[in-house]
């Protein structure tokens, strides 16, 4: 039996500790290939590179091939891996481990999730893994959970077009409260640009922001992860706003004939 092929990627770049820990965690489950950006590509959303060429460099660690570095976005890495670099179509795409949560509306900006989005667009079961802290340096808990998830994913599968978005709380020392399967929340960041003056006296703006919790109820990724649960949210890109179709059909624009 052919071993599963697992594509590992991220948005923090191939040299980031998180992707090394992710590779370690999934190694026992199949043939693992790493294809990742050559440097940080955070908050790139689902960007792809169409106006410039992509380059690929082999990254060697301890005399062995660690993976391929691409001068592109996470979505570029998945596209290029699937169509050019891997020996066959991957069975799983897994992206991370990202420092900083990717919950609620952050998901739309996230490079980590974008790699998994590209995976599901290509018809491959895909996972994004984030830890809700920028200061996190211990990955044992995350690795243990990833192993537990991989086992189930390979055994049970997920529907075509679904990605699993995993967020892990930063409370490793105290232990976690448990694992929740929950909805993708609608919380967002309130923008707070700082208006500053540079050393030459010119104005510039820098994007900051305050977390704005999801307002619907407690069954969502960003409320639960801050309560101390590991949260797994199934995400699909069925973007049609079904409830808006009917009222729109009554607009007089439908009579327009140029």
At 137 the three-state DSSP class reads coil
214-243 binders of its own copies (CB under 8 A): 230, 232-241, 243
The answer to whether 15 contacts its own copies (rule: CB under 8 A) is: no
The answer to whether 254 contacts its own copies (rule: CB under 8 A) is: yes
Are 70 and 36 in contact, with CB atoms under 8 Å apart? yes
Length of the chain: 258
In the complex with its own copies, which residue's Cβ is closer, 20 or 183? Answer: 183
Residue 255 DSSP code = G
In the complex with its own copies, which residue's Cβ is closer, 62 or 137? Answer: 137
**For residues 111 and 5, what is the distance between their CA atoms, to the nearest angstrom?**
22
**For residues 202 and 226, what is the distance between their CA atoms, to the nearest angstrom?**
39
At 48 the three-state DSSP class reads coil
Q: Give helix 140-156 / helix 17-26 axis angle, nearest 10°.
A: 50
In the complex with its own copies, which residue's Cβ is closer, 11 or 20? Answer: 11
113-132 binders of its own copies (CB under 8 A): 114, 117, 121
**Joined tokens for residue 192:** 């707070």
Are 6 and 29 in contact, with CB atoms under 8 Å apart? yes
The distance of closest approach from Cβ of residue 49 to its own copies in the complex, given in angstroms and rounded to an integer, is: 7
CA-wise closest residue to 99 among 153, 152, 32, 22: 22
Q: Which listed residue (89, 207, 215, 218) binds its own copies by CB under 8 A? A: 207
Q: Which listed residue (107, 128, 131, 231) binds its own copies by CB under 8 A? A: 107
Q: Which listed residue (6, 26, 82, 116) binds its own copies by CB under 8 A? A: 82
153-192 binders of its own copies (CB under 8 A): 156, 158-159, 161-162, 164, 172, 175-176, 178-181, 183-184, 188, 191-192
Q: Which listed residue (30, 59, 109, 133) binds its own copies by CB under 8 A? A: 109
The answer to whether 97 contacts its own copies (rule: CB under 8 A) is: no
């Amino acid at each position: 039996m052919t071993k599963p092929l697992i594509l590992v990627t991220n948005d923090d770049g191939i040299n980031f500790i998180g992707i090394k820990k992710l590779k370690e965690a999934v190694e026992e489950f199949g043939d693992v290939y790493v294809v990742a950006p050559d440097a940080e590509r955070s908050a790139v959303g689902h960007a792809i590179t169409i106006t410039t060429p992509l380059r690929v460099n082999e990254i060697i660690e301890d005399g062995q091939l660690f993976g391929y570095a691409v001068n592109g976005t996470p979505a570029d890495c998945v596209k290029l891996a699937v169509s050019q670099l891997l020996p066959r179509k991957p069975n799983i795409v897994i992206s991370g481990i990202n420092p900083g949560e990717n919950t609620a509306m952050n998901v739309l900006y996230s490079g980590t999730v974008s790699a998994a989005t590209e995976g599901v667009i290509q018809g491959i079961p895909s996972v994004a893994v984030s830890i809700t802290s920028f200061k996190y340096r211990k990955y044992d808990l995350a690795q243990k959970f990833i192993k537990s998830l991989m086992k189930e994913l390979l055994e049970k599968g997920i529907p075509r077009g679904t990605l699993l978005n995993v967020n892990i709380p930063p409370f490793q020392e105290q232990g976690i409260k448990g694992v929740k399967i929950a909805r993708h929340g609608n919380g967002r960041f309130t923008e707070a640009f700082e208006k500053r003056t540079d050393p030459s006296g010119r104005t510039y703006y820098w994007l900051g922001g305050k977390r704005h919790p999801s307002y619907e109820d407690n069954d969502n990724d960003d409320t639960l992860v801050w309560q101390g649960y590991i949260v797994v949210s199934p995400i699909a890109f069925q973007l049609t706003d079904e409830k808006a179709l009917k009222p729109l059909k009554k607009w007089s624009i439908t009579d327009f004939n140029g």
